[in-house]
Amino acid sequence: MPHMPISFKDKVAIITGAGGGLGRAHALEFARRGAKVVINDLGGAVDGTGGNSAAAEAVVKEIKDAGGEAIANGASVTDDAGVAHLVKQTMDAWGRIDILIANAGILRDKSFTKMEMRDFEAVMNVHLMGTVKPAHAIWPIMKAQKYGRIVVTTSSTGLYGNFGQTNYGAAKSSLVGFMHSLKLEGDKDNIKVNAICPVAATRMTENLMPPAVLEMLKPEFVSPAVAFLASDEAPSGIIMTAAAGVFAAAQMMETDGVNLGHKATADDVADNYKQIADFSTAKHYTQGGEQNGKFFARIQDTPVVG
């Protein structure tokens, strides 16, 4: 039996990096479903340089022209004062913050050999701290409301790697670790935290794919997953992947392992590697303590070595 249509009526959503691409698509979807939306965008280039408010204002106009409610904010998500202003502006306008879609990001791709540390740090700063700072600023508000939905944005590079993107991969993977711990802390206050892993045609990908493929990968094809992950009935701690109308879920898995005993050497590990890395009975854990439980269970096994 179909559920009631997802609605964000009376909900307030902050969407970072919403001046174009995925963020704009998400903003339009949330507004269409009744949310009051804050369009945050620095208006910079793909590498994070420059900035103006034109992109954010244009999306606000789109939403208002369609009968929705929206305001623009041009703060950098890495700037403490800017983030504080973003939260204040939202609370002054609407008195609550229900949803954070942390979408802002930059690219500075280079092979690791040629990567300058400033480019590594810049990408880490925008993706990781540009998610952490807004989340931290609104966390007390969500706790007081006993309601919150946070969606962080990871990527296939963060989950699986990609040549020339060590900085981007490290940043995107770190957000999965952030999400997994934050979901536990939000549980008692009905704050749900999830990750979206999108593939879409945006300024970041337009030079990487042919036009026919880009047409299949419109950003708005990802937004339904984001809306679901931010809805009342959302799960928590999920990595949802989305592209071209196809939706899937990803998770970390761990093998059962082998008890080699306290006398095990590196050679014993090498001799037993095939069994150690046997994923046929691998499990997914929802918190670190469950993995510890696995180790204590394996300790009860008779050691293979000595």
Q: Report the C-alpha gap between 214 and 202 in whole angstroms.
A: 8
Q: What are phi and psi of 69, to 5 degrees?
A: -115, 130
Strand partners of residue 151: 101, 194
Q: Is 168 a catalytic residue?
A: yes
Q: How far apart are the first and last CA of the chain?
A: 58
Site of tokens 């009376």: 10
Residue 48: which region, alpha, beta or left (left: phi > 0; alpha: psi -120 to 50)?
left
**R_g of the chain, CA atoms, integer Å:** 21
Q: Report the C-alpha gap between 77 and 104 in whole angstroms.
A: 8
Beta strands (DSSP E) in 1-116 are 12-16, 36-40, 69-73, 99-102
CB neighbourhood size of 273 (10 A): 11
Nearest to 131 by CA among 196, 184, 185: 196
DSSP state, residue 254 = B
Q: Report the C-alpha gap between 190 and 236 in whole angstroms.
A: 10
Catalytic residue of the set 147, 160, 168, 273: 168
Buried b or exposed e, range 243-268, using 16+ CB within 10 angstroms: beeeeeebeeeeebbbbbeeebeeeb
Residues with catalytic roles = 168
